[in-house]
Amino acid sequence: MTQNEAIVVLDYGSQYSQLIVRRVREAGVYSELVRFDADEATVAALNPKGIILSGGPNSVYAEGAPQLPAWVLASNLPVLGICYGLQLQAHHLGGKVEPSNDREFGHAVITITAESPLLADIPTEHSVWMSHGDRLETLPAGWHPIAISPNSPYAAAADEDRRWYGLQFHPEVVHSPYGKQVLHNFLYRICACAGSWQPSHFIQEAVERIQQQAPSGQVICALSGGVDSAVAALLAHQAIVERLTCIFVDNGLLRRGEAEQVSRTFRDHFQIELITVDAAEEFLAALAGVTDPEQKRKIIGEKFIRIFEREARNLDDAAYLVQGTLYPDVIESTAPDRNVAVKIKTHHNVGGLPDDMKLKVIEPLRMLFKDEVRAAGLALGLPEDWVWRHPFPGPGLAVRLLGAISFERLETLRHADAIFLEELRAAGLYRATQQAFAVLLPVQSVGVMGDYRTYADTIAIRAVSTEDFMTADWARLPYELLAKVSSRIVNEVTGVNRVVYDISSKPPATIEWE
């Protein structure tokens, strides 16, 4: 994405790397996450005003640990190292990093010991979030400490002349309450950024890019019913108008009322050409007996593509496929490589695409986070109730139905899910949560209903609060609401006698169960 300025984050494998990018964008500066060994030309193309080195799971002194590119060392750009990034700076500049006898994981209190633009407008003592087993023992020449903690003599350090800074703590997480100010100081006091990034600014550039990627011929857009594919479709419609046909595939794995809402919004409201394909039997046949979640995702991804290819042949051999892949989808589907990025799950838009697919993929949202997509959707005129819909996974209910998939089990899950969302809306808490859904478990248990013994299914319900979907916490829903949902599901959904509430955060769990 072309910008007048950017902050480049080199990824060393931290679970928080994506959050650094998110926080920088929140502060009004465009940012991208790139591999730690990206070449100088790749980074230069982003017009960087500064570099941030992420944390990571390795030890800088270990054999094979990812290191600092030579071009960073030769650069005149400001550099901020976070955790592993700080240790990496010291390791390459003559400092000393060693295993710590007292590792720090979780909350710690740091004390600012010297004035620095990086820590301006921040209380002298404040809480931060630490996550490290190594620590910096000796600073490189030209560096000085600017903050300490009980277990870190260099909780923050700087070479002010060179504009190189390092933090042993993580400013990007919400557990560091002044972390946003630290990043703001780096962006504006040190890198002298102008701060012109807004998600809506991306619209015109995305339209122009689609026109460049598909200069002629027919284009199809995979419409799923979620905000991501909807925004991608509206961008493509602006870009190529009459050459676009949206295709909505009813794969039998949708929530109640999904197909009707898609048709009503796109065909009637936006008057965009829409083809609905009833492929439920095809998908259920392909998924018969499959229980592994990764295999489910890949089967669904390939089946979607084959259907789109089939439909494309009926549209003057359309050569392009637009889909709503987001930045977190790309990041979470990264294959394990050099012990840096760990694949969490295959996103069907990213890792589930067949190698021999004929269509050329266009992903106008590939570098955006969910809330940025929502901002773009509002600017494009997408109805608010659609913009604020909770995310729904591309593989649909297939990854919320654990174990083997059948029409009967899908109907059970659809019914339970509809009850949960209906009660959440009635309580005025739908917008207070960012994602909520039901999961059908491959677990049966004993119950008593009407003086009879039952042996029936278990439904798990999950609701989370999150800013960016890269981390999330379970929503503290009122007991009265949970009781009502449980009672309705057990009484109204045939074959269910037990409801449980998921109180796992992300990490260690993911938001979806598969």
Annotated binding-site ranges: 224-230
CA distances from 383 to 158, 279, 370, 421 (A): 48, 27, 16, 19
Tell the burial category of 288 from Cβ atoms under 10 Å away from its Cβ (0-12, 13-18, 19+). Answer: exposed
Catalytic residue among 5, 26, 32, 83: 83
How does 256-287 read in b/e, with b if 16+ C-beta sit within 10 Å?
Answer: eebbeebeebbbeebebbbeeeebbebbbebb
Is the distance from CB of 466 to CB of 472 less than 8 angstroms? yes
What are the helix (H) ranges across 214-353? 227-240, 258-262, 280-287, 293-313, 327-332
Binding-site residue positions for ATP = 224-230
**Catalytic annotation present for 348:** no
* Geometric angle at alpha carbon 165, from 159 and 166, rounded to 5°: 125
Three-class secondary structure of residue 374 per DSSP: helix
The residue among 217, 215, 235 whose CA lies nearest residue 318 is 217
User: In the numeric block, which tokens belong to residue 384?
Assistant: 């608010």
Three-class secondary structure of residue 62 per DSSP: coil
Catalytic residue among 32, 104, 172, 258: 172
CA 345 – CA 332 distance, rounded (Å)? 6
CA 326 – CA 330 distance, rounded (Å)? 7
- Residue 210 phi/psi, 5-degree rounding, is -60, -40
What are the helix (H) ranges across 115-214? 179-184, 202-213
CA 37 – CA 71 distance, rounded (Å)? 10
**Catalytic annotation present for 32:** no
Dihedral angle at the C-alpha atoms of 127, 187, 131, 147, nearest 10 degrees?
-50
**Catalytic annotation present for 246:** no
- Residue 271 phi/psi, 5-degree rounding, is 55, 45
CA 129 – CA 111 distance, rounded (Å)? 13
Q: How many CB atoms lie within 10 A of CB 62?
A: 10
CA 55 – CA 52 distance, rounded (Å)? 10
Catalytic residue among 91, 132, 170, 347: 170
- Residue 297 phi/psi, 5-degree rounding, is -60, -45
DSSP letter for each residue of 131-156:
EEEEEEEEPPTT-EEEEEETTEEEEE
DSSP letter for each residue of 462-500:
EEEE-SSSSSBEE----HHHHHHHHHHHHHHSTTEEEEE
Is the distance from CB of 428 to CB of 460 less than 8 angstroms? no
Three-class secondary structure of residue 79 per DSSP: strand
Active-site amino acid positions: 83, 170, 172
